[in-house]
Structure 1
Amino acid sequence: MTMLTVAEARAKARTRLRSSMSTWATQPTPTAVEIALHPPTEKQVLDDQRAAMDWAASWREIAAPGADDSTAENLHDAESPHGPIIDWTERSWARVGRQQIPLRLRLRTPDAVARFVGGDEARQWRRLRERTKTIRSRFDDQDPAISATVEDTGGEADNDRIVDPIGPAIKAHAKRILGLGQAEFDTLLSVVAWLRDHPVGTLRPRQLPIRGVDSKWFETHRSLVTALLTAAGRPEAVDVLDAQPRMRMRILDPDLMPSGLGDITAPAPQLSQLTIAPRLVFVFENLESVLAMPDWADAVAVHGSGYAVDNVARLAWAHRARVIYWGDLDSHGFAILSRLRTHLPHVESTLMDEGTLTAHRDLWVQEPKPHRGEFSGLSGTEARALARLRAEGDVRLEQERIPWDTALERLTASAGEPTTSASEPAAPTGEQG
C-alpha cells in the first residue's frame, strides 16, 4: 500500500470535516479522527530510500512543535488538544536496520481537524462553531454539555429522552446557517428572539417591528425560524408565518359553481373545502390563460403562480381529478412541473413538448436565469423538450406568447371538447375571499 502523504491525509480530513461539521458543532464531547499513514515495507524502503526518508521527514515536520501548517499558525504543540499527534513505531529490518516510522495521525478535536485542513473548510467550521455558540447562548437555557445528554425520566430505557432541542435544529439547518451573511444572521436572531418573547396574536409578518423583515424575508428563512422557535419552546409563535396563500381559480362548468360564483380568489384551505368534484383540473402558469378559458364540462382552471404550485396539492378535490399542467416552456417550467408531481404524481402536461417549442421558434426569448438542476419525474417527451431548449442556448417559450387558438386546440385534444367555442370565453364573475 502506498505511503500516505501529508496532502492526502489533509484531503481525507477535509472530507471528514465536511461530512461531520454539523454533528461536531452540536455535540458536547470532542471527536477524534485517526488516519492510518500506511508506512512502507522494507522492500519499499530499499526500492526508493530517498522517497521513504522524505516521507518520514514530512510527518516529522508536521509533528514538530512550532512548525507551520497550511493555515500559517503555530498549531503543533503536543500539549495542546488542537495540535496533530503522530504515533510512531519502531521497525527493525535486516537490511535497513532500526527505523522510527510514522504510523498514524491523530486529531483529537474538531478544531484540530480544521486547523490541520486549513482553507475554506476551516473557516466554515469556525463560523458554524461560533454561530452555534451564539444560538445556544440566546435560546438555550441549559448548558450544552448537560442539555445534550440523555435524561432518565423513569428508569426504563423506553422513557429516556434527549433534552437538547437546539442541537438537532442547528444540525438540520447547518448549511443555511453557514450561508447567511453576518447581517442576515443578526436579523435571524432578532426575529426569533422577538417572536419568542412576544405574543403574536393576529400579527402579520408586515407588522413585526424589525427592520428589513417582511413576508419575502419569511419566505426565505421560514424553515430555519420555525426550527429555532420550536427548539426554544415556542412552536406556536410561528403562527405569524402562516399567512394562508391565496389562490385564484375559475370554475368552468356552470353546474359546479357554488352560488353562481365562477371566479374565486381565496386561501387554499378554503378552496379545498368547496363541495365540488370536477373531473378535470387545469393548472396554468399564466393567469391570462386561466381567465381566457371557455366553459368546460366538469372542469376548473387554477392559477399555479410559479413555484407556489405546491398549493394545488392542498386542494382535496384535485387529488380525485385528472390534472393537466401547462407552464412556460423553459427550465423553470419543467422544474415547477416536477415539483407539482412530487405531490400529485398523476399530473399530465400539455404544450410542453419539443414540437411546440420548435413550431414557435420566432417567439423564443432568452431565459435570463435558467435552472441547472435535474428534475425527477419528467416523461421522455418532456425531458427531450428540456434538453432541446438547453441545447438551443437556454431559450424559453412563454405560455402567453403561444396563439390562443393553437393553445385551445391542443387543450381540447388533450382533455376533450369544451362546452362552448373558443370565441366565447366565459367572463369572470367576480372574486371571493
Structure 2
Amino acid sequence: MTMLTVAEARAKARNRLRSSMSTWATRHEPIGTSPDEGSEVSAPTAAVVEIALHPPTEKQVLQDQPAAMEWAGSWRKIASPDAGGSKPENLSHPVIDWTERSWARVGRQQIPLRLRLGTPEAVANFVGGDDARQWRRLRDRTVTIRSRFDGQPTAASAITAHTKRILGLGQAEFDTLLDVVEWLRDHPVGTLRPRQLPIRGVDSKWFETHRSLVTALLEATRRPDAIDVLDAQPRIRMRILDPSLAPSGLADITAPVSQLSELTIAPRLVFVFENLESVLAMPAWTSAVAVHGSGYAVDNVARLAWVHGARIIYWGDLDSHGFAILSRLRTHLPGVKSTLMDEGTLIDHKDLWVQEPKPHAGKFPELTGTEARALARLRTEGDVRLEQERIPWGTVLDRLTTSVEELGASTKKPTTSAGEQG
C-alpha cells in the first residue's frame, strides 16, 4: 500500500471536519477538555480522528530510500515523535504515533505509524484554510447561542439542523437574529402578520428569510409559543362544474383555503387533479367540483369542510411522486379513489413515457394493491413516468365517468364540451 502523504491525510481530515463539525460543536462539553474549567486534560483521550499512514516495508525502502526518508521527514515536521513519553499531549495539535522498525539491511528506523487528532481544534489546526475558519465560526456561535439562552442544551438540534444557515450569516445578521429570538422569548406577541413584528430592522422579508431558524431557536428556549407569525394563507384554484352550486354564478375561484372552506356548497363529487390544465378542461358535471391539488400541497384539500361529505376522485401523474401525493392525501381523506393510476393505463400509453428525473424512493402505505402494482411496474421499467396531460382527453373523460359509476355517486355524465363552463 502506498505511503499516505501529508496532503492526502489533510484531505481525509477535511472531509471529516466538514461532515462532523455540527456534531462536535453541539456536544455539551468540549471534546478533550475537563468539564469544570475548560482546561486541557493531562491524560490522552480517544482521538476524534485517526488516520493510518501506511508506512513502507523494508523492500519498499530499499527500492527508493530517498523517497521513504522524505516521507518520514514530512511527518516529522507535523509533530515530534513523543507519543507515549512523559510529556502530556497537546490536544489542540496533531499527534503522530511512531514505531521502531529493525530491518536487516536498513537498520533501526523510527517510522510514523498513524496520525491522531484528539479534538476538533486539532483537526482544524491540521486542515487549516477556510474549513478551519468555518469550524471556529460555528464553534464560537454555538457558544454564543448557549450563553444567550441560558446554556440550553436543546439548542443543539436547532444548530445541527441549521448549520449552513448559521455559518452563512454575516456578524451583523447573526447578532440581529439573536436579538430577535431573545426579544420574542421575553415578549410573547401571539398571532401576528410578519409585517406587524414590532422589532426595528425586522420586516416581512427579513422574517421570511430567517423564520425557520428563529422558530427552531425559540423551540430550543422552550418557548415555541412565544410567537405564531402567520404566513400568507395557501390559496386553492377550483371550478364548480355544476352551475346550480355556483354562488352568484361564480364558477372559477381562486381564494384562501379558509374562505373556500366556508362556501355553503354540498357537492356529491369532488375531482382532485394534480395538473391545473385538467381542472380547467373539465366540462359541466352535475353536483361536482374540480379542485387543483397543487402537488404536495394537496393536504389543503382536506381543509375544505364540504369535501368531507363528498365522494373524491384523485388523478395525478403516473410516477413515483404522483403516488406519494395520493398516499399523502389518503392520510387525511381515506376514502379517496384514484383514476388512471393503474398498470393498464401505464402500459397502454408506453409511447408517451418519459424518464422521471428525481424519483421518490419511499414506501407509501396508503396505496391500494392496484396502485402499488403500478408503482412497482414503473420502477421496474426504469423509473418512467406518464404525465397526466399526455393522456388523450377523450380517454380521460371515459375513465372519469367509469370511476364515478364505480363509486356509486349519483351524478350525471358530462353533457357539455370540455372547458365550456367557466
- The alignment's TM-score, normalised by the length of structure 1, stands at 0.64
Structure 1 residues 97, 9: closer, same or farther in 2, change over 3 A? same
Q: Which moved more, 1:199-208 or 1:285-294?
A: 285-294
Shift, 1:306, TM fit: 5.6
Question: Aligned runs of 1:24-39 on 2, under 5 Å?
Answer: 24-27=24-27, 28-30=29-31, 32-39=48-55
Structure 1 residues 10, 230: closer, same or farther in 2, change over 3 A? same
Task: Report the residue type matching 1:197 in the other structure.
Answer: D
From 301, 314, 317, the equivalent of 1:324 is 314
Quick check: 1:422 aligned with 2:379?
no
Summarize deviations over 1:92-112 as a string: whole Å, max 9, x none.
233322111112212122122
Q: What is the distance in 2 between the residues matched to 1:239 and 1:122?
A: 38
Structure 1 residues 231, 374: closer, same or farther in 2, change over 3 A? same
In the alignment, is the contact (CA less than 8 A) between 1:294 and 1:418 conserved in 2? no
Shift, 1:339, TM fit: 5.7
What's the secondary structure of 1:421's corresponding residue?
Answer: coil
Q: What is the distance in 2 between the residues matched to 1:186 and 1:278?
A: 55
Corresponding residue for residue 150 of structure 2:
141
Percent identity over the alignment?
Answer: 57
Structure 1 residues 414, 347: closer, same or farther in 2, change over 3 A? closer
Structure 1 residues 207, 312: closer, same or farther in 2, change over 3 A? same
Question: Aligned runs of 1:52-91 on 2, under 5 Å?
Answer: 52-63=68-79, 81-91=91-101
Summarize deviations over 1:235-267 as a string: whole Å, max 9, x none.
112422466534344555689999x99868453
Quick check: 1:343 aligned with 2:328?
yes
Q: What is the distance in 1 between the residues matched to 2:118 and 2:156?
A: 21
What's the secondary structure of 2:228's corresponding residue?
Answer: helix
Question: Aligned runs of 1:155-304 on 2, under 5 Å?
Answer: 164-180=153-169, 185=174, 188-209=177-198, 211=201, 213-214=203-204, 221-241=210-230, 244-250=233-239, 252=241, 265-267=255-257, 271=261, 280-286=270-276, 289-290=279-280, 293-296=283-286, 299-304=288-293
Quick check: 1:132 aligned with 2:117?
no
Structure 1 residues 426, 388: closer, same or farther in 2, change over 3 A? closer
Shift, 1:315, TM fit: 6.1
Q: What is the distance in 1 between the residues matched to 2:339 and 2:379?
A: 8
What's the secondary structure of 1:3's corresponding residue?
Answer: coil
In the alignment, is the contact (CA less than 8 A) between 2:275 and 2:388 conserved in 1? no
Shift, 1:354, TM fit: 11
Give the superposed CA RMSD: 5.0
Question: Aligned runs of 1:351-362 on 2, under 5 Å?
Answer: none
Quick check: 1:311 aligned with 2:305?
no
In the alignment, is the contact (CA less than 8 A) between 1:354 and 1:384 conserved in 2? no
Q: What is the distance in 2 between the residues matched to 1:83 and 1:354?
A: 63
Q: Which moved more, 1:104-113 or 1:407-416?
A: 407-416
Q: What is the distance in 2 between the residues matched to 1:355 and 1:212?
A: 56
Summarize deviations over 1:159-208 as a string: whole Å, max 9, x none.
xxxxx111222123223433556666455445433432333233212222
User: Where in structure 1 are there 5+ consecutive unaligned residues?
Assistant: 66-77, 148-163, 360-370, 390-396, 429-433
Work out the number of aligned pairs and report it.
369
Q: What is the distance in 2 between the residues matched to 1:4 and 1:319?
A: 70
Question: Aligned runs of 1:342-421 on 2, under 5 Å?
Answer: 343-344=328-329, 348=338, 373-376=358-361, 379=375, 412=401, 419-421=413-415
What's the secondary structure of 1:100's corresponding residue?
Answer: strand
Q: What is the distance in 2 between the residues matched to 1:16 and 1:321?
A: 54
Q: What is the distance in 2 between the residues matched to 1:237 and 1:122?
A: 36
Q: What is the distance in 1 between the residues matched to 2:321 and 2:263?
A: 25
From 107, 129, 153, the equivalent of 2:117 is 107
User: Where in structure 2 are there 5+ consecutive unaligned residues?
Assistant: 33-47, 82-87, 331-335, 363-373, 406-410
Corresponding residue for residue 10 of structure 1:
10
What's the secondary structure of 2:30's corresponding residue?
Answer: coil
Corresponding residue for residue 23 of structure 1:
23
Structure 1 residues 82, 205: closer, same or farther in 2, change over 3 A? same
Shift, 1:374, TM fit: 3.8
Structure 1 residues 326, 279: closer, same or farther in 2, change over 3 A? same
- The alignment's TM-score, normalised by the length of structure 2, stands at 0.66
In the alignment, is the contact (CA less than 8 A) between 2:102 and 2:108 conserved in 1? yes
In the alignment, is the contact (CA less than 8 A) between 2:339 and 2:399 conserved in 1? no
Q: What is the distance in 2 between the residues matched to 1:241 and 1:256?
A: 31
Shift, 1:125, TM fit: 2.0
Shift, 1:280, TM fit: 5.0
Shift, 1:279, TM fit: 5.8
